[in-house]
């Protein structure tokens, strides 16, 4: 049985897939794990040269196995672990990402010493100095531990116990669904986040796109909560968010309530972890001060992050209340 199988899911990644595969294989060789691991490139019917690049690499590296599947959601690609050789753990990185040479050894050391159910590592942007969006909203030193699909691993038996990644969404967020499914089945599972287990990826620097992703991810969180959270928790989250928007509804009867709504925006925004907000604002203050408007805009998003997320959460709640379907 293999110790680790690594899965790289790809869709039209001809410019990054060779770097991604090569970095994993190099890391496995550095750790002496090529006899205990296989790398699987799952091509999701790419329309570019991704499959051919990966296939050519597989002719040079026996540990690389390339599979092409009909176009499907990301969860289907990730669930191809079911067709891999037996292994104790399944690890995932992105086809547009890469890992340093010590990645496999670090992952192996975590498995050997702690044997956790879930392993998560840091995902750094290729240009951490100049990508303010990453520094403020994805930086592990600011946001704390997280589970991100570009650098994660699972005990295979735990994956199998819940049937793999739940088919809830098309393109992203299925790792959050999987985590909740595992917790729902067994709340004693162990989770290890190690900031020395590093992978690299290209994060979109657009603040506008981040806000859109935050909104959609919050809609996804409602769907996950509906499936796996307790009824008490669901009621509490929906009630809290509805109360937050109550002054806006009352504005229909008296415009002065709009001032109360703006005040509630500020209170809800600042009611989050004040230490987190301070860390985020500190990252902004360290950035290029020649662009004050940009820095102020980022500061506003930091303060309004919770109201934005609450809006997305309620959006999905009312869509489902009205029995409308959504594609996420």
Strand partners, 153: 91, 119
- How far apart CA 53 and CA 64 sit, in angstroms, is 12
Domains observed in the chain: 2-204 (3.90.550.10), 208-321 (no CATH)
Per-residue model confidence (pLDDT) at position 291: 79
Per-residue model confidence (pLDDT) at position 272: 64
For residues 178-215, b (16+ Cβ closer than 10 Å) or e, as one string? bbbbbbeeeeebeebbbeebbbbbebeeebeebbebbb
Per-residue model confidence (pLDDT) at position 131: 95
- Strand spans (E) along 170-269: 191-201
- How far apart CA 296 and CA 302 sit, in angstroms, is 10
Per-residue model confidence (pLDDT) at position 270: 63
Task: Collapse the DSSP code of 117 into the 3-class scheme (helix H, G, I; strand E, B; otherwise coil) and give the result.
Answer: coil
For the stretch 181-240, pLDDT in tens is 999 999 999 999 999 999 999 999 999 999 999 999 999 999 999 999 999 999 888 887
Per-residue model confidence (pLDDT) at position 220: 96
Per-residue model confidence (pLDDT) at position 269: 62
* Cα 2 to Cα 36, 96, 98, 280, distances in angstroms: 5, 25, 22, 41
- How far apart CA 135 and CA 125 sit, in angstroms, is 9
Burial class (CB in 10 A: 0-12, 13-18, 19+), 140: middle
Strand partners, 154: 90, 118
Low-confidence ranges of the chain (pLDDT < 50): none
How many residues are given for the chain?
A: 328
The widest CA-to-CA distance across the chain, in whole angstroms, is: 72
Indicate the angle between helix axes 274-285 and 292-321, nearest 10 degrees: 140
- How far apart CA 29 and CA 101 sit, in angstroms, is 9
pTM: 0.92
Per-residue model confidence (pLDDT) at position 265: 66
Per-residue model confidence (pLDDT) at position 267: 67
By C-alpha distance, which of 126, 98, 117 is closest to 18? 98
- Could you tell me which residues come within 8 angstroms of residue 153 by beta carbon, excluding any fewer than 6 positions away? 4, 89, 90, 91, 92, 107, 111, 118, 119
Per-residue model confidence (pLDDT) at position 16: 96
Burial class (CB in 10 A: 0-12, 13-18, 19+), 279: middle
């Amino acid at each position: 049985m293999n110790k680790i199988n690594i899965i790289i899911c790809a869709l039209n990644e001809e410019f990054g897939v060779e770097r991604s595969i090569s970095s994993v294989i190099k890391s496995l060789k550095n750790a002496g794990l090529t006899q205990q691991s296989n790398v699987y490139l799952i091509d999701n019917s790419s329309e570019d040269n991704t499959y051919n690049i990966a296939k050519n690499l597989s002719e040079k590296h026996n540990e690389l196995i390339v599979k092409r599947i009909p176009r499907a959601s990301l969860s289907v690609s990730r669930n191809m672990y079911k067709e891999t050789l037996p292994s104790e753990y399944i690890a995932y990185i992105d086809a547009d990402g890469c890992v340093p040479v010590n990645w496999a050894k670090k992952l192996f050391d975590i498995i050997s010493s702690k044997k956790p159910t879930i392993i998560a590592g840091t995902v750094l942007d290729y240009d951490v100095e100049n990508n303010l969006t990453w520094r403020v909203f994805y930086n592990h030193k600011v946001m704390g531990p997280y589970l991100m699909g570009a650098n994660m691993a699972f005990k295979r038996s735990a994956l199998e116990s819940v049937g793999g990644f739940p088919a809830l969404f098309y393109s992203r967020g299925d790792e959050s669904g999987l985590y909740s499914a595992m917790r729902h089945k067994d709340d004693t599972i162990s989770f290890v986040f190690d900031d020395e287990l590093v992978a690299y990826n290209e994060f979109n620097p657009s603040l506008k796109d981040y806000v859109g992703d935050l909104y959609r991810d919050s809609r996804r969180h409602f769907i996950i909560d509906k499936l796996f959270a307790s009824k008490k928790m669901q009621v509490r989250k929906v009630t809290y968010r509805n109360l937050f928007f109550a002054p806006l509804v009352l504005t229909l009867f008296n415009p002065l309530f709009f001032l109360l709504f703006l005040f509630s925006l500020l209170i809800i925004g600042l009611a989050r972890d004040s230490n987190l907000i301070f860390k985020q604002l500190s990252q902004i203050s360290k950035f290029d001060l020649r662009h004050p408007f940009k820095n102020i805009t980022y500061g506003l998003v930091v303060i309004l992050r919770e109201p934005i997320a609450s809006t997305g959460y309620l959006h999905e709640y009312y869509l489902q209340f009205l029995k409308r379907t959504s594609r996420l």
